[in-house]
Amino acid sequence: MSEEPRQPQRGPLTTRERGIVAAWSIAPIGVAMVAMSPFVLADRASFADLVAASVVYGGLVALATGFVAYDRLQARQCPACTARNPRDGVACSACGYDLARRPRYRCSENHVVTLDPGTCPCGRRLQPLPEPRGIGREVTGMLRVGGWMLVFLLAVGLVLQWLN
């Protein structure tokens, strides 16, 4: 093992992982279509209406779910060696990097961000950075808002249909 402090890296997604992201980016549109299909069956909306509404409302949720799926898959990748780790890995199974705390270091002149303490190429000592805040929680919140928005829109649509 070299003495050079390692720099964070991101490997490309595998074909299987890309498939997961694609599925999450499409599934909500299908779900919206199924959820709204009773309107077409009851002859209250045309098939074109159904497709348009599904793409608009389902598409909004799909953007969020696709992004979350991508973010979660990236989070399982070790930033030091890009090995895949199980969801709750504390240390990378391949290189031992601390995946729970994900320590990062930087010199006072912000030259490079590294995963190990040591010396910056400029000769300054690398200082620990504050722990990164997971964006996962914010994304999950966003997704929940998106989901409720879809439910709300469906409910409004339902009420309007009944009023007609």
Give least dist CB 78 to Zn ion, A: 3
Which x/- pattern over 94-133 shows residues binding Zn ion (rule: CB under 5 A)?
Answer: xx-x---------x-x-x--------x-x-x---------
Our finding on whether 91 is near Zn ion (CB under 5 A) is no
Distance of CA 94 to the CA centre of its chain: 23
- State the distance between the two ends of the chain, measured CA to CA, in whole angstroms: 72
Closest CA to 75 of 137, 147, 30: 137
Our finding on whether 57 is near Zn ion (CB under 5 A) is no
Cα distances (Å, whole numbers) of residue 4 to 114, 117, 121: 9, 9, 9
Question: Of 89 and 157, which CB lies nearer to Zn ion in the complex structure?
Answer: 89
Question: Of 46 and 127, which CB lies nearer to Zn ion in the complex structure?
Answer: 127
Pick from 40, 60, 81, 154 the residue near Zn ion by CB under 5 A: 81
Give least dist CB 92 to Zn ion, A: 3
CB 63 within 8 A of CB 139: no
Question: Of 73 and 107, which CB lies nearer to Zn ion in the complex structure?
Answer: 107
- Count the Cβ atoms, other than its own, within 10 Å of residue 93: 15
Our finding on whether 43 is near Zn ion (CB under 5 A) is no
Closest CA to 24 of 81, 70, 74, 87: 70
Give least dist CB 106 to Zn ion, A: 8
Question: Of 24 and 97, which CB lies nearer to Zn ion in the complex structure?
Answer: 97
Count interface residues toward Zn ion (CB under 5 A): 14
Compute and round to an integer the Cα radius of gyration of the chain: 23
159, two tokens: 């009420």
Q: Which residues contribute to the site for Zn ion (CB under 5 A)?
A: 78, 80-81, 83, 92, 94-95, 97, 107, 109, 111, 120, 122, 124
